[in-house]
Amino acid sequence: MTDTAPRPTLEAVAERAGVSRATVSRVVNGAHGVREALAERVRRAVEELGYVPNQAARSLVTRRHDAVAVVAAEPETRVFADPYFAQQLRGISKELTAHDSQLVLLLTEGREDHARVGRYLAGGHVDGALVFSLHLDDPLPGLVRGAGVPTVFGGRPGWDDGRDDVVYVDSDNRGGARDAVRHLAGLGRTRIAHITGPLDQTSAADRLAGFRDVRADAGQGLVARGDFTSGGGERAMRELLDRRPDLDAVFAANDLTAAGALRVLRERGRRVPDDVAVAGFDDMLPVAEETDPPLTTVRQDIEGMGRLMARLLLRGLDRDPGAGATEPSPAVTPSGVVLPTTLIRRASA
């Protein structure tokens, strides 16, 4: 067995800095009221001794765990395979890391996992939750509310429970879809089809609404159901071509869907963009720039959305009484933030 040196204590830091134990505790726990000269001596002593605060003891003082649950309402096979989730998680992780907070990833493979997630959130392990990729019948919002943890949602809420204190971050899905379809129409395309995402998610429903805003006169057979995956894009594209072989443009609900559609168009001998122009949504560079041809798409700041979700949550926690406020206040300000989108033109349209 290897002997290890004893961990430096709060008392050792106080002795090295020449201050009281209480002063060290206030500095280490981020409390105010310590003169900067003394605080700097404490920080220097902490660094020299390699002191690491005891998280359990610190939580008793601050009522904070420095951990945030990230709840994705999708199975792990989807989360780890879809670059959309990787970008969003990267943004969340960067923001939490910058504030010395840990990310705890919770996935829901099936209905049986919802109760487990609810118990974990209610168990006092985390300071708050970031929840995204919700479906309309998902019980997660109710479970999160029941757990009593501050929460920010990714995406426009699709439920109406009479409360107006929901904080969320979303992109202008409807406006971005309108831009894409108007661009296709501006190229002279008259038989524009749409492959949707899963319509129990508000992002997909909003993109379908944007398509219909521009193509209210779209004929029968120009909309097919997809599921935000390349396989779903392939199936929907085959269905569209079988129903409407004369279509001359496709707006796909996301880039993965568009990538699947492009493969089927190539299999069927349709030239892109000569015969059929194609546009997607997301501008996920690992996908959009590597399709053949490169994909015209609607850019949304996926990583930025993740960072903003985390920032809103942390900002709310800093106003919480447990973080030093003197009067009760809501953990987060009721609000919804909708970020703009941008049409990116490439060779597919």
Strands 296-299 and 342-344: antiparallel
pLDDT in tens, the chain (349 residues): 455 556 777 788 788 888 887 787 777 766 667 888 888 888 888 887 777 665 545 544 445 558 999 999 888 888 888 999 999 999 999 999 998 889 999 988 777 788 888 888 888 889 999 999 888 888 888 888 888 889 999 998 887 655 667 899 999 999 999 999 999 999 999 999 999 999 999 999 999 999 999 998 766 679 999 999 999 999 999 999 999 999 999 999 999 999 999 999 999 999 999 999 999 999 998 899 999 999 999 999 999 999 999 999 998 887 543 433 333 333 344 578 999 999 999 999 9
DSSP state, 188? T
Strands, DSSP E only, in the chain? 67-72, 102-107, 128-132, 151-154, 167-171, 192-195, 223-224, 249-252, 277-282, 296-299, 335-339, 342-344
Give me the amino acid identity at 14. A
**pTM above 0.75?**
yes
Strands 335-339 and 67-72: unpaired
